[in-house]
A and B are shown apart, each in its own frame.
Chain A
Amino acid sequence: MADGALLMAGELILGAGASGPLLRLTEPVSFWGGVDEETGRIIDGHHPQFGVCLAGTALLMGAARGSSSSSSTLLECVRQGTAPAMLLLTERDTILAVGVAAAWEIYGRGPSVVLLPRPPDAQNGERLRVDQQGRVYAARQS
């Protein structure tokens, strides 16, 4: 049915149900200095995904990197509507989660933050959905 295929059970730390196309970061990115708040694009010239837009994606992150100002950058991305739809974390990254927590406090909206035991088995661009219990689905037919 419309739920699609259950990929895995994660832990929903913040936010609500959400969906977006999967984007795997091939290397960690620092939001501060690395992501443009106005467009949501990666502007770090050292990053292999330079120019890729993070807005509205189901962003799969490994380890965080770089500046501790990234919470603020993410909060500003939420204000400008350029934030990812959800952060799928395989590492316990506090800096981005705090930006999200502040966004929900100040604006009542923001990405959902899901802690995953491992990366989901899905293709880049495949539409993922997370529910209130932290279960991650692919939109494809099972």
Chain B
Amino acid sequence: MIRLSDDETGMLAGARGPAAALSMRVILAAARIQGAERLLPIESAHVDSCLYHGPSSLDFARALLSGGGRVRVPTTLNVGGLDRSRPDLFAGPASHGEAARQLMDCYVELGCQPTFTCAPYQLPGRPAPGTDVAWAESNAIVFGNSMIGLRTNRYGDLIDICAAITGRVPHAGLHIRENRAGRALFTVEQDALSHVDADLLPALLGHHVGRRTGTLIPVLDGLQAVPVTEDWGKAFGAAAASSGGVAMFHIVGATPEAPDLATATQGKIPALSERVSGADLMAAHRQLTTGTPADRLGGVSIGTPHLSAEQLGRLAAQLAGRRVRVPTYATTSRSVIASDPAAVQVVEAAGVTIIRDTCTYFQASFMSPDGVVMTNSAKWAYYAPAKLGCSVILASQTDCVASAVSGEITLTSHHG
């Protein structure tokens, strides 16, 4: 039985309009699944529903609009189906592009901010640690919980906008402190760190841990010598949330709820305890690499999730004065682009196409690669073979850039 406040009962009865009532019914279905006894107010939301998946996406958004829907808390938007500043880059069917654009407009009309980024944690004014929010987008969820200390469950499409409209989520899961304890301990062997390129370490480790941990929150120990930057946590989380259902992780000595192992586990004995070896990381690399160095290079994709300002600056430094010979894409947000126009100029002068508002692995919308694609992203490597039908080589950013410039697959750094 779910207890509702007067405000919530009113919303369900239609006091705030049909869209709020519909949204409450969806939230309550989720609450029943989760066994929640009440709802919880949220302070903000990040909405992924603005990505077009077919006519049903528009059917749902228009039902909310026609029902007087309006977000009740500050709400950012995830990527949509196209770069609204460069509609010329969209190579999919025109009707699909138009529908994708209309859907993005619908969500702005519902009151969401037109941020269109999968990395809301890179936007100015992000929520404070401990805040209850409703974030969608698997990489954002895992980053928010783990690297900032936000409290969000794995909200997905549709419930995200319902949470934003009602300002409520089920009181369950990671909103409750006891459920945030690390339950699977992964101890990284020190010599494993020397087996792989430091640039690829978070991606490979994330892929491995995501596959092994199941529904348990992983705790990583043994990384005290590794500088766990926000970009490191981003790459790890995106990989773990692609290969597994990871919504939160702890890294002992690095993430906010894991100053030490006992705090990360809340004093509980882990249900799973494993060591991670160099062989495990090399196996992860093989699983994420479907092409071979003998293949023809068809393109390079950097920036999944969206490049941070630091990553954009590093890319610019690597590309300065050079020119790419294969189609090369760098994906980031309007916010990051606006923060460093000089870097944007260098990257574009090198012949790289900068994509904003969206992602390059959505069904042949941007890339129709003639050959294998190199990427430094485990998430891109995981999804692109099915989405784009291409082979992928996962490599460090240095090797991705070197290959883009030479036009041939160039693997200089340590790749197991």
Binding site for B on A (CB under 8 A): 13-14, 28, 32-34, 37, 43-46, 63-73, 75-76, 78-80, 89, 91-95, 97-103, 105-107, 113, 115
Q: A33-B387, A69-B51 are in contact. Are A13 and B29 (CB under 8 A)?
A: yes
A64 to B141, CA, bound (A): 15
A76 to B51, CA, bound (A): 13
A94 to B31, CA, bound (A): 9
Q: A79-B54, A79-B59, A98-B159 are in contact. Are A64 and B245 (CB under 8 A)?
A: yes
Q: Which of B32, B49, B244 has the most chain A CB atoms closer than 10 A to its own CB?
A: B32
A66 to B137, CA, bound (A): 10
Chain A residues within 8 Å of B153, by CB = 94
A2 to B51, CA, bound (A): 45
Chain A residues within 8 Å of B387, by CB = 33
Cβ-defined contact, B53 with A92, below 8 A: no
Cβ-defined contact, B59 with A106, below 8 A: yes
Q: Nearest chain-A residue to B62 (Cβ)?
A: A106
Chain A residues within 8 Å of B382, by CB = 46
Chain B residues within 8 Å of A70, by CB = 156-157
- A104 CB to closest chain B CB (Å) equals 9
Cβ-defined contact, A68 with B157, below 8 A: yes
Bitwise interface map of B from 134 to 152 toward A, beta carbon under 8 Å scored 1, else 0: 0011100100000000000
Q: Nearest chain-A residue to B242 (Cβ)?
A: A66
Cβ-defined contact, B241 with A66, below 8 A: yes
Q: A92-B34, A102-B60 are in contact. Are A28 and B159 (CB under 8 A)?
A: no
Bitwise interface map of B from 40 to 55 toward A, beta carbon under 8 Å scored 1, else 0: 0000000011010111
Cβ 8 A contact of A98, one of B26, B54, B287, B383: B26
Cβ-defined contact, A94 with B60, below 8 A: no
Cβ-defined contact, B34 with A63, below 8 A: no
Chain B residues within 8 Å of A69, by CB = 48, 51, 53, 156-157
Q: Nearest chain-B residue to A102 (Cβ)?
A: B158
**CB-CB nearest 10 A-B residue pairs:** A68-B156, A101-B29, A76-B54, A72-B157, A72-B53, A95-B156, A79-B56, A98-B159, A71-B157, A71-B156
A105 to B141, CA, bound (A): 26
Cβ 8 A contact of A92, one of B35, B55, B59: B35
Chain B residues within 8 Å of A32, by CB = 53
- A79 CB to closest chain B CB (Å) equals 4
Q: A13-B33, A46-B287, A92-B34 are in contact. Are A72 and B158 (CB under 8 A)?
A: yes
Cβ-defined contact, B51 with A68, below 8 A: no
Chain A residues within 8 Å of B136, by CB = 68
B155 within 8 A of A: yes
Bitwise interface map of B from 207 to 246 toward A, beta carbon under 8 Å scored 1, else 0: 0000000110000000000000000000000000110110
Chain B residues within 8 Å of A13, by CB = 29, 32-33
B296 within 8 A of A: no
- B110 CB to closest chain A CB (Å) equals 15
Cβ-defined contact, A106 with B141, below 8 A: no
A44 to B56, CA, bound (A): 22
Cβ-defined contact, A79 with B55, below 8 A: yes
- A87 CB to closest chain B CB (Å) equals 10
A13 to B30, CA, bound (A): 9
- A103 CB to closest chain B CB (Å) equals 8
Cβ-defined contact, B53 with A73, below 8 A: yes
- B125 CB to closest chain A CB (Å) equals 23
Q: Nearest chain-B residue to A73 (Cβ)?
A: B53
B353 within 8 A of A: no
Cβ-defined contact, B215 with A63, below 8 A: yes
- A118 CB to closest chain B CB (Å) equals 16
Chain A residues within 8 Å of B155, by CB = 68, 94
Chain B residues within 8 Å of A67, by CB = 138, 156, 242
Q: Please, could you name 28 A-B residue pairs with CB atoms under 8 Å apart, sorted by A?
A: A13-B29, A13-B33, A14-B29, A28-B245, A34-B386, A46-B382, A66-B138, A68-B141, A69-B48, A69-B51, A70-B157, A72-B57, A72-B157, A73-B53, A75-B157, A76-B54, A79-B54, A89-B33, A92-B33, A92-B34, A94-B33, A94-B155, A98-B26, A98-B29, A98-B159, A101-B158, A102-B158, A113-B33
